[in-house]
Amino acid sequence: MKTAFITGGTSGFGAAAARRFAKEGWQIVVTGRRTDRLEALVKELGGDKTLALPFDMRDKAAMESALSSLPAKYRDIDALVNNAGLALGTAPAPQAKLDDWTRMIDTNITSLVTITHKLLPTLIKRKGVIVNISSIAGSYPYPGGNVYGGTKAFVKQFSLGLRSDLHGTGVRVTSIEPGMAETEFTLVRTGGNQAASDALYKGVRPLTADDIAEMIYWVAALPQHVNINRLEVMPVNQSSSGFQVFRETSD
């Protein structure tokens, strides 16, 4: 039986991906801070093939101890889905909170590279796959995207770099770069503002967590000789639009 290790499995893409892999008979390790959500997922997917591993990704000691506690049957990891992440705030740089910036860097970059480094030996042994969740924000800048976009550009480039380093090992690496998807993402970004989240997605038909889960699973389940390097995806009702120009004078 194959094993998927999915970070950030308590909501959104991660929870949907756990369900998608489980449907195909994979056993799952899911991480996240909200223990009640993890327990509910284990109950839903079956305690004999789903393991909840609660820890804060930014806490290196907690990560280390969680990984050391992995029962033998979950240690051979075939797919690492680096999904846990967040955006905080939409303020332009001068007004943004430095704490928000460092939290995004700690979660989206430092935690992601740390867990990847720790799981590389097993992924190499299993000729596994690493699916990193980047974002269109890593390729297309927008006002207020500053550090969030920067972290996702890192994830994209790190994925390509990993591919080079893992040349010849059989390990596949993919960067998935979604656009607007309705999850708890905007609720987190706005500090719990449900009205702002609803307003953002209203009338758009955004991507869903299930859409992204389907892509994560597809990428992982492709034949061993096929590597999707980058997969950029948007809802039909979202597209990019030009540069902004500041006029110093009106005449």
Concatenate the DSSP letters of all residues of 43-107 into one string: HHH-TTTEEEEE--TT-HHHHHHHHHT--GGG-S-SEEEE----------GGGS-HHHHHHHIII
Binding mask 120-149 for ligand 8X3 (x = CB under 6 A): ---------------xxx-------x----
Distance between CA atoms of residues 59 and 63, nearest Å = 6
Which of the choices ligand 8X3, ligand NDP, none does residue 14 contact, using the CB cut-off of 5 to 8 A by kind?
Answer: ligand NDP
Using an 8 Å Cβ cutoff, are 33 and 23 in contact? no
What single DSSP character describes residue 32? Answer: E
Which of 242, 196, 218 lies closest to 79 in space, CA to CA?
A: 218
Choose between 173 and 223: whose C-beta lies nearer to ligand NDP: 173
Any contact of residue 166 with ligand 8X3 (CB under 6 A)? no
Q: Does 89 bind ligand 8X3 (CB under 6 A)?
A: no
**Residues known to be catalytic:** 148
Binding footprint of ligand NDP on the chain (CB under 6 A): 8-14, 32-34, 37, 56-58, 83-86, 107, 133, 135, 178, 180-181, 183-185, 188
Q: Does the protein bind ligand 8X3 through residue 183 (CB under 6 A)?
A: no
Residue with tokens 């269109």: 136
Q: Total residues at the site for ligand 8X3 (CB under 6 A)?
A: 6
**Nearest distance in Å: CB 250, ligand NDP:** 37
* Contact set with ligand 8X3 (CB under 6 A): 135-137, 145, 179-180
